[in-house]
Each structure stands twice: as structure tokens, then as C-alpha cells.
Structure 1
């Protein structure tokens, strides 16, 4: 077996791959880890959903594996060091979901600003307009580039922060985003969009020292990994009203349990990974991943060893043109 597909793909993409390689489609393996590892023993390439961790134990069960395909662009659940050691390339979409994510963020900001009222000078509780707001983008992802094009159409001021980019980097000018330190961004923004790719060093980036400086009445939209936000600090600012509402498109299991700070907090909304999941984005992602897998399976493999080196690099260079990896 050359290719095992666990993540459902578009029918025409599946057919295209089946015409070129031996393909086995087994979506049930996503919830059967033991059977999945048995199936991987003779596999050269696999397409896995985000729920399946690509880690050292999985790679040890797949001695012939050369490629792991991911339909989502996030790096969560991927052990880059283990892939590098095993010389397994991770193929994932960095741009296919960008426009879908940007549209989702715009819609979420519009909904929160209008739905969560503030007190006006005449004493009435009223909504706000996106066109009169300053929106802070945290993380210069492909979706941020799309937002930098969409938001000014409303008249919105767009500011941004990325821990991997200096404020003098030309990417800010190229994308039309005003760079600010994170504290200043939080102090000025009526709404923030957290888009940053997750790495362990960024865990809890938005903690007490950051959220405590948020502009009163701010709304937060997060399409990134929820671990970037400290849940205790978020619960506190939501209770105080410093942040009026927060919308997370994904959240770590257990964060809303009865013994956790966010349990029962008003103003918190969670959706199940809707931002990048559209018919159009999945089609783009499926074709991009499929073509790259086909290219790699057609290439002559290097001499095999028990562990082999890998991709991806730890962070994509935001100044690069959109690409597949």
C-alpha cells in the first residue's frame, strides 16, 4: 500500500490519487490508534486529520513512511522534531484556508461588536461599527494578509503584532499593517484577532500582563490554538468587563469543565473549527496536498534508515509568497 487516507478528501481528488497510486481509504482509523499503527507499517504516505497526533510513537510504527498530509494549516499535534528525525515530510496547506479564516474573523467581529452593547454618551446601550474600530491582528499568517485587505474596506484601522517579526520588517508595509508592541496593540484595539501559529514557547502569550492592558470593551476572536491564551487571565478580564466577549473557534479539551476558570463565564463563545472549514477551502487544500504527495511519491527515495530527517521548518517566513509545504 502506497497511500493511506484517513482524512476524507473530495471525491475527484480521491479518484485522481487512485489513478496514480495504490490507495486505501479508512476514515475509521482516526479513532482506532492501535489499528492505525498496524495499517501504517507498509505505508509510504498518509493523510491524517488534526485529531491524530503525528509523534514519535506513530512514526516508529511506520518504517516506510515518507509523507504525512494534513488538510489543515495548523501545526498542532505535529512533533516537528520527530518528523525531522524520521525524515518524514509534513505536507499541509498554509494558504488554502486563508480567505475562509479571514471571512470568519470579519463575521465574528461584526457580530460581537454589534451584539455586545456598550454604554453611549446618552446613556443607551448600543452596538458598534467595524468601520469606526481599531482591530489588532496578532500573528502575521496568510489569513492576516487577507484581513489587511478586507478590513480597510470598512474603514477600519488595522494594527498588528508578531513575536517573530521586528517592527522594521518590510512585510508590515507590504501588507498595509501598522506594527505595534503587543501591550500597545491591546491598549488601542477595539477588537483583536488572534491568528498566531502555535508553538510551545508561545503558550500563555496572552496572559495577565497582556490581557490586563486590554482596552475596556474590547472583543477577542481567536482562530488559533486556545493554549496561546491563559484561561485564568481570560476569565478575570471577562468577569471584569475589560474584554466584553471572546469567540474561540477551537478550545483545548477540558477548558470549560466545572473546575476550570472559564466554566460558565458569560461572554464566551466556542465553535468547532468552523473558520477554515468551507467547501471551497477544503477543495483547495485537498488538491494542494494531493499534488504534493503525488510529486513526492514519484520521486526516487533516499536510502532508508530507521529515522530520517524532515520538514516543515519551525515557522514559515511571512514574507514568502503563499506556498504549499
Structure 2
């Protein structure tokens, strides 16, 4: 009974050691569908990394597969419906890197609101000290703003969104609001968040809008031209969730036309970000290459956690991060009865 990991990533060595208790662990040479299929006939567990496609045709090559796991919070490369139809639980690593993403989010918020990256860029670019200081210390130019007088909105109050809210509370924003159709007012209140039923209303109030939602059909282009039009021209947008949550073309237009003060993006509609992306040419944007959840410590936590979740599932315990809970009662048993 083999565990297959679709890409050899350094941090997954810990997961490999944990999953070794189930049997041999092997890696795919690359993430092409034909390569993955070659490894699947005897596989019981598939750890599917970003960049691979696990769909119906791939699963046809995996008659013994019992568990599919994504080592990250995202899992959009896995066809959950196809897995469910075959009685296979899909596990995501939701919440494992929540603290790291929350810290990163706070960093980008401060970098935007206090113009830290912009001022650094000017000084390194050779702009005169006096001109830079004037630009970022005069109200009529690009002076920063305090969070203590700002309304911060958190869209998505899952593991990461709630952790962001709790860490933000230390900075005491003027008002902390949030939107999540699946969160209760009680859950939001425990994190110090005033829940908004309407996303557009949330966007209208926000001085800083933070996105922490999973990528689903419902959240694809959640931030579109209409929602951007609802935001204040002095507002900032931060996306540390998934790239396609934001429709980039209207975002670029809003930033170019100063209908939005700035944005910090750790994720993009297309990754890697194309060299000719117009986002690269905008001065009021902070761009980072999808590193929000990555620290030396969080990598170890993520690897250990996904290993533990798979082991729990194999032992018959419903795991944390189960994406398709409807499959649980009729899942295929990890051990075949004829093998027992």
C-alpha cells in the first residue's frame, strides 16, 4: 500500500516520515498527468501538490486509492466531485499556516497604510532624501494613515480570517468589521468583529479590505468591478487568499485611475505572475510571490499536520480539513476486507 506525493518539496520530508508508517512513499518525477497516473495503480494515499491535476481520468488509474490530501489550504487542483463519486475523502490542510498568513497580512497592511515599501523604493531609486520625506510626511501628498482611525474589514472568517482579526485587535483599529455568509455573529464577536450581512456594504465602509476566503465557484471574482466601485478611493485592498478571488483587469484600472489608493497582492490570477503583467508597473501595489503562509516554522507545522490528518483518516477517524464530508459515511475502507 503506497503513498504517492506528486512533487518533491523540502518541507514534505516530515510528512514523508509520518506517512511511512502506512507503507512505502514514492514521489512523481514530474506533475504531468501521465506521470502521476503511472504511480497510481497501487496507491492508497495521494498527496497532491499545487500544479498537478487530479481529475476523473487521473482517478481512473487509481483503483486502490482511499485518501487524497492537499498539503496546503488550497485544493482547487483536485476534482472533489470526482473523488466523492468514488468514495474517496479529500483532505485540505486548512488552518495549518493560519498564524503565518495572519502575521504576513498584518505586515502588508502596515506596509501599505504607512507607505513603507513606497518610501523604501524611492530612496533606493536615488530620489533625494528631502523629496522622499516631504512626499510621505505631507497630508497633501502621500502621507500614511493610522489604523486606530481606520475601519478594517475581513472578508472570510475561517481559520485564517479569525486569526487575522485576533492579531489585528492588538493594533486597535478604529473599527473591525467582517463578512462571511457561513460565520455566526457569535463567532465573529469572539474575535472582536462586527459582522456585515452584505459584502458591498462591508466594502463601502472599509479603509482596508482583507481577503481570506477559499477559492470556490462562488468566490471566483468575488472582487469585481462593481465591488471595487463600492470602495472608497482612499481604501486599500489586501489579497492573501487566492488569486482568482480578485478580477485583476478592473483592479488594475481602479489603481491606475486612483479610484483605489493601493493594494497588496500575494496571489494572482495567473501564477507565476507574467513578466508583462500591468501590476508590475504600478507604484501603488505591493507584490509578493505567494509566500504569505511560508516560514521555516510554518512549513514544519504544515507537513506534520497533513501527515497526522492522513493517518487519522486511514485509522477511521474523521480528519480535520475534510473537504467532502458527505463522503464519510460511504467512503471506501482504507483496509480491504479481503486483506484483513
Q: Same fold (TM over 0.5)?
A: yes
Change (3 A) 1:178 1:126: same
Q: Which residue of 2 aligns with 1:175?
A: 191
Pairing partner for 1:312 from 323, 329, 333: 323
| Aligned CA-pair RMSD | 2.8
Matched-pair contact (CA < 8 Å) for 1:75–1:197: no
The yes-or-no answer on 1:153 pairing with 2:170 is: yes
The yes-or-no answer on 1:246 pairing with 2:248 is: no
Matched-pair contact (CA < 8 Å) for 1:255–1:263: no
Pairing partner for 2:311 from 257, 282, 294: 294
Deviation at 1:140, TM superposition (A): 1.1
Matched-pair contact (CA < 8 Å) for 2:19–2:25: no
Change (3 A) 1:208 1:252: closer
SS in structure 1 opposite 2:161? helix
Matched-pair contact (CA < 8 Å) for 1:6–1:29: yes
Q: Which runs of 5+ in 1 are unaligned?
A: 301-310, 316-325
Matched-pair contact (CA < 8 Å) for 1:216–1:243: yes
- Distance across 2 between alignment mates of 1:299 and 1:150: 35
Q: TM-score, normalised by structure 1?
A: 0.82
Deviation at 1:294, TM superposition (A): 2.3
Question: 1:1-325 maps to which residues of 2 (within 5 A)?
Answer: 1-7=1-7, 8=9, 9-18=11-20, 20-26=21-27, 28-30=29-31, 32-115=32-115, 123-156=140-173, 157-165=175-183, 169-180=185-196, 181-253=198-270, 262=279, 264-299=281-316, 312-313=323-324
- Distance across 1 between alignment mates of 2:140 and 2:278: 32
Matched-pair contact (CA < 8 Å) for 2:241–2:267: yes
Q: Which runs of 5+ in 2 are unaligned?
A: 120-134, 327-340
Matched-pair contact (CA < 8 Å) for 1:194–1:224: yes
- Distance across 1 between alignment mates of 2:312 and 2:232: 49
Change (3 A) 1:255 1:48: closer
**Cα deviation code 1:106-162 (max 9, x no counterpart):** 000011111158988853531223333221111112111111211121111211112
Matched-pair contact (CA < 8 Å) for 1:226–1:251: yes
Deviation at 1:177, TM superposition (A): 0.5
SS in structure 1 opposite 2:261? strand
- Distance across 2 between alignment mates of 1:205 and 1:299: 37
Change (3 A) 1:148 1:189: same
- Distance across 2 between alignment mates of 1:48 and 1:67: 10
Change (3 A) 1:251 1:296: same
Would you say how many aligned residue pairs link Structure 1 and Structure 2? 301
